[in-house]
Chains A and B, each alone.
Chain A
Amino acid sequence: MSLAAPNAFRLLLGHEFRLYLRSGSVKGISLVFLIITQVLLHLLALAIALATRSPQARLPAGLDTGLVMLSSGLFAMLLLMVSRSLAGAVQSLYTRGDLDLLLASPVDRRAVIGVRMAALALTVMMEVALLVWPFANVFVLFGRVAWAKAYLLIPAMALLATSIGLAVTLLSFRTLGPKRTRLAVQVLAVVIGMGMMLAVYLPGALRDGPSRGPVYDGVALLAQHPGGWRDLLTAPAQWVMNGYLPTAAFFLAAALLFATTIHLVGDRLVTTLTTITGGGTRRIAARSTGELRIRGSFRTLVILKELRLIARDPFLVAQILQQSLMVLPISIVLWRSGAESGLPIPWFAVIVLAGGLASPLAWLTVLAEDAPDLLASAPVSRAALVRAKIEAALLPVLPICLLPLPFLLFSWPWFALCTSFCATGAALSAALLNMRNPVARRRDSFKTRHKGSAGRGLLEVVSLAFWVLLCVGLVLGARALAGWR
């Protein structure tokens, strides 16, 4: 017996949404929280609308800057959506365990895939729409009717981004294979997301003179740029500003592209999904050694095991990469704030990076043990085991701690030593903080590892701040005392 198409569509769409609402990213976000956030965003929009009623307050520096700002915003939103759709496509392809069930049911396979991708586009859209539409609601009420285009523009961008995301995922699957696709696509999603953030932040951060906020500064800098760049940057905004027809045409084109993507890749996608979700048949073989090689002390084996478990988990690699990239804006802030001192101040970011990496790695090695009973039943002391696990967590961080030495030892020896010392201290402190009230968790709860232990998260920040300040104190103190350099 086959479900009638409208019933199947409704059932599948409800299923997708239920799963999405219970997934790690939104689980725990209640309806009350959502309503409160929406009310606050509307209030914020209202405040902005009131504050920018006078015409000269609306655009930061003339029409060009306004157009560049709009274009930048559109680009940023599209990149964010592409990043989100890539991550969502990977989750649909790999993480969910229900595809076998759905594809084995009498529901049309294309309907299953179509609904899954439509749900992906819808979630991508809603994540941005919930932030933008409150502003559109208020601004339209205040007579800025052009903002009504946001109701078409954001769905259109979500459809475009999801089409791009699906195409990239499938292309990656075909060229890299299922194993590497997951890593590649997740890393790409992180890089795009972070790249977008940096693209917005960097131009303003690098600009000299008084600042009116990084986004404003960045946009103003781009608006001043002569020639083709400015034209390119203002084109999307001009397209959007030019009446309602181009926006409606963009929406229709995006919807057509999305439908074409689903139609063109549908069968291949089904094949891909069934191959990947074959579960038991998907076996990943390491390089064959021919003979068994069981070597090394207990400590070495524990360290090797921990490093292998982290390196072979694309989700963790992507998350750790994301944490590493987060340090870039911090180093820019340090650079700007320390520009007058004549010191290589951005190197202080190494301390933040070391501490920021050591903490999740220690959490993974110590608290997120997959087989705690195996270790507890082994004839080894817990202290030795924990020591080895901490060593495993710190080993990948050590090169980062030592990074200032080869670069700065000859030009700024004291600075290099202090930075390396404090980075090591920050890493060690962050790792050891995981020993405080340890509660065993599953590795897949990595993103929510601070849940239920907010105190530890706060202590990590305090500890990082302490090591950075100590380093600043050591460097500036020595300079003041000895007239160094």
Chain B
Amino acid sequence: MPTTTSALRIEGLRKRFERPAVAGIDLTIEPGEFYGLLGPNGAGKTTTLRMVCGLLKPDAGRIEVFGVDVQERPREAKELIAWLPDDPLLYDKLTVTEYLAFVAGLWQMDTTVAARNARALLERLDLWAHRDERCEGFSRGMKQKAALAGALIHDPKLLILDEPLTGLDAAIAREVKDLLLERARQGCTIILTTHIMDVAERLVDRIGVIQAGRIVAEGTLDELRTRAGRDQATLEELFLQLVGRPGPQPT
């Protein structure tokens, strides 16, 4: 019987700054899954994801991306990952095209493929007309779209998004969500953190709730409802129950 490699496997992950930020996380995400990592501010979401991307070194634990150990073979792991934080990773003085060319160079893409992907992404995200404009004049939404294009240009197998919809207007948020769902359907594994529960409820296949550096609940929305014994509860109600803050009582 053939075995499948998980998109992401985390075992016993720990990281401490002044206090423990991540206090022993175990997590497995399968290829093609759209996974939502939810938690209150300071719960350890971003720290966990930064360790997955190889930006932070864990104190303990093991991270594998499609079977590649992030600590032992970081370059191979990074080839598979794209990281998009809430503050877009852009250069204000570069045009979108120059930015994408630079990112393509970092991932050492074939130039023809890179040019094709860049054009497709810019057209898909309504940025083609702005391709020769510097990012410094862009709105927050346009910057986020340009950064998303940069994250997707090398066709990552694992896309990690930290609060990608923060500060976006409805139309741009819709564009971004549609593009993410499209990528998920094409087989890209996506991990997303958000404080907007409606977004998580509509987009993700499975949810992990993290608090004080630990996963306190995990499963599909229905599984979380069943465990909480609240069949009609919204994700927001479940989330507030899980993280110990009282939500509105059902009437």
Contact = CB atoms under 8 A, between A and B. Distances in A.
Interface of A: 279-289, 291-298, 300-302, 304-305, 308-309, 312-313, 370-371, 373-381
8 contacts: A283-B137, A285-B133, A305-B102, A371-B89, A376-B55, A377-B55, A378-B78, A379-B108
Nearest to B119: A292
B97 A313 contact: no
What's the dominant secondary structure at chain A's contact region? Answer: loop
Given A294-B118, A376-B54, A370 B91 contact: yes
Interface in B126-182: 130-134, 136-139, 150
Nearest to A282: B137
A287 B132 contact: yes
A283 B130 contact: yes
Interface of B: 53-55, 74-79, 81-83, 85, 89-95, 97-98, 100-109, 111, 114-115, 118-119, 130-134, 136-139, 150
B133 A377 contact: no
Contact of B94 (A280, A292, A293, A309): A309
B95 A294 contact: no
A379 B114 contact: no
Contacts of B103: 374, 378
Given A280-B139, A286-B95, A309-B93, 11 more contacts: A279-B137, A280-B138, A281-B137, A283-B134, A288-B132, A294-B100, A298-B106, A373-B83, A374-B89, A374-B103, A378-B107
B90 A371 contact: yes
Contacts of B102: 301-302, 304-305
Closest 6 CB pairs of A and B: A301-B105, A283-B137, A378-B106, A379-B78, A374-B89, A312-B93
Contacts of A301: 101-102, 104-106
A41 to B, nearest CB: 41
Contact of B55 (A284, A309, A370, A373): A373
Contact of B97 (A281, A284, A292, A305): A292
Contacts of A309: 91, 93-94
Contact of A379 (B75, B130, B136): B75
Contacts of B83: 373-374, 377
Contacts of B55: 373, 376-377
Contact of A308 (B90, B98, B106, B139): B98
B106 A375 contact: yes
A295 B115 CA distance: 9
Nearest to B83: A377
Contacts of A297: 105
Contacts of B54: 376-377
A93 to B, nearest CB: 16
Contact of A284 (B118, B137, B139): B137
A380 B54 CA distance: 12
A370 B92 contact: yes
B107 A379 contact: yes
A301 B89 CA distance: 17
Nearest to A381: B75
A377 B115 CA distance: 21
B108 A292 contact: no
Most buried by A among B97, B106, B115: B106
